[in-house]
């Protein structure tokens, strides 16, 4: 979906703002602390129902206010789409609307706006726990197979929760465990299958994008990605593995094997990239992951939305130019932040750019 208009009130330090006539490329400038990253955050909340900067949504509410409201107008193949999300301190649940109708789940918003983020915290994709890399893989799976994946994931999580609760009980009833183990195995194998299909399509695109971003490097660096499904699937199907390790799971009090333990292990020259890559190389690799995912979705006719905060951090001018060049080829909508608009505005060639300036939480369109 192409976002055409964004409006927010009482969000972070922004009392009120309206961004109209949004373009394919949008550049937001302003000093550090001015509120420019809050605009990217608002778009993410609108598209996902949550922030990419904090898990405590209360921090998003402007000081001394009762709540915040974000609305957006966009267009996709089904026509105009009007989205709204409101959160109030007195109510733990968000109010989410699409074209005037209340939504029960924010996943419906996520399907409308496949958002990719590239910011200073992006290193966590490679340096953080396996959960972050599972999320990266599942992002593509969800947008390509939304109904199948979401149903399988919800059923898997329910079965996992029930099985773990039984495993923690004082006297484990093995007969009561059986139906939840059955469900866990069926849905777990399906999740593994869906992940594997998309990963096989993603990895060649990752190699291509990583090479494109580093085409000027004198000594090319190869990257190898190994997928660990969460158990040794070459030896056993998931149900067989769960049965084999039942005594261990009872002792631990939780289910140790399954797709909830999956990981992408990223190596170069036989070592983890976290150990051998510079900060610039790591950010370049994260950027390649984001671009390759967006290119994968374009093969299904789906356009992503990129939120790029402070591209200059850790990336040299050559890699920045190559990143922007590859992004423009994907025909995705993008929102960039920079301290000065001149830092990036010359990098887009003849592409039409919509520019805004933010100062003390006030947003002004630039000519």
Q: What is residue 54's predicted lDDT score, i.e. its pLDDT?
A: 93
Q: What CATH superfamily classification does 1-114+303-367 receive?
A: P-loop containing nucleotide triphosphate hydrolases (3.40.50.300)
Structure confidence by residue, pLDDT tens digits, 231-252: 999 889 999 999 999 999 999 9
Q: What is residue 219's predicted lDDT score, i.e. its pLDDT?
A: 60
- Distances from the Cα of 253 to the Cα of 29, 149, 163, 177, 248, angstroms: 51, 27, 9, 13, 8
Q: Name the helix (H) or strand (E) containing 72.
A: strand 67-76
Mean pLDDT to the nearest integer, 77-86: 94
Domain ranges of the chain: 1-114+303-367, 124-302
pLDDT confidence tier of residue 367, bands split at 50, 70 and 90: confident
- The four Cα atoms 13, 45, 95, 111 give a dihedral, to 10 degrees, of 160
CA-nearest of 258, 205, 201, 209 to 229 is 258
pLDDT at 23 over 60: yes
Q: What is residue 265's predicted lDDT score, i.e. its pLDDT?
A: 96
Q: What is residue 347's predicted lDDT score, i.e. its pLDDT?
A: 83
CA-nearest of 137, 155, 181, 156 to 293 is 137
Structure confidence by residue, pLDDT tens digits, 127-150: 999 999 999 999 999 999 999 999
pLDDT confidence tier of residue 317, bands split at 50, 70 and 90: confident
Q: Of 131-145, 217-231, 282-296, which gets the smallest average pLDDT?
A: 217-231
Q: What is residue 100's predicted lDDT score, i.e. its pLDDT?
A: 92
d(CA 68, CA 127) in angstroms, rounded, equals 33
Q: Which residues pair with 307 in a beta bridge?
A: 117, 335
Q: What is residue 106's predicted lDDT score, i.e. its pLDDT?
A: 83
Mean pLDDT to the nearest integer, 174-186: 96
| CATH of the structural domain 124-302, one choice from 2.40.10.220, 3.40.50.300, 1.20.1050.90, 3.40.50.10420 | 1.20.1050.90
């Amino acid at each position: 979906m192409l976002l055409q208009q964004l409006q927010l009130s009482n969000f972070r330090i922004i009392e009120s703002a309206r961004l109209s006539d949004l373009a394919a490329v949008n550049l937001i400038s302003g000093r550090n602390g001015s509120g420019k990253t809050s605009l990217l955050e608002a778009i993410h909340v609108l598209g996902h129902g949550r922030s990419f900067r904090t898990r405590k949504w209360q921090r998003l509410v402007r000081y001394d206010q009762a709540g915040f409201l974000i609305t957006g107008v966009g267009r996709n193949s089904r026509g105009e789409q009007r989205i709204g999300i409101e959160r109030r301190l007195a109510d733990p649940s968000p109010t989410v609307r699409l074209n005037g109708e209340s939504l029960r789940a924010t996943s419906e918003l996520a399907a409308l706006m496949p958002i990719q983020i590239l910011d200073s915290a992006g290193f966590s994709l490679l340096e953080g726990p396996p959960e972050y890399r599972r999320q990266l893989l599942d992002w593509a799976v969800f947008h390509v197979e939304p109904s199948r994946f979401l149903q399988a994931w919800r059923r898997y999580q329910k079965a996992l929760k029930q099985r773990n609760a039984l495993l923690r009980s004082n006297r484990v009833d093995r007969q009561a465990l059986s139906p939840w183990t059955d469900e866990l195995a069926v849905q777990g194998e399906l999740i593994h299958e869906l992940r594997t299909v998309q990963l096989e399509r993603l990895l060649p695109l990752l190699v291509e994008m990583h090479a494109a971003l580093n085409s000027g490097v004198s000594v090319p660096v190869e990257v190898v990605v190994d997928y660990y499904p969460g158990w040794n699937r070459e030896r056993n199907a998931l149900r067989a593995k769960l049965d084999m390790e039942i005594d261990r799971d009872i002792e631990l009090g939780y289910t140790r094997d399954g797709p909830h333990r999956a990981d992408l292990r990223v190596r170069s020259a036989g070592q983890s990239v976290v150990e051998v890559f510079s900060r610039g190389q790591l950010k370049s690799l994260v950027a390649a992951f984001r671009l390759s995912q967006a290119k994968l979705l374009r093969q299904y006719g789906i356009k992503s939305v990129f939120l790029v905060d402070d591209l200059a951090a850790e990336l040299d001018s050559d890699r920045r130019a190559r990143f922007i060049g590859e992004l423009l080829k994907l025909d995705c909508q993008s929102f960039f932040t920079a301290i000065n608009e001149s830092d990036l505005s010359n990098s887009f060639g003849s592409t039409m750019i919509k520019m805004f300036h933010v100062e003390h939480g006030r947003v002004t369109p630039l000519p």
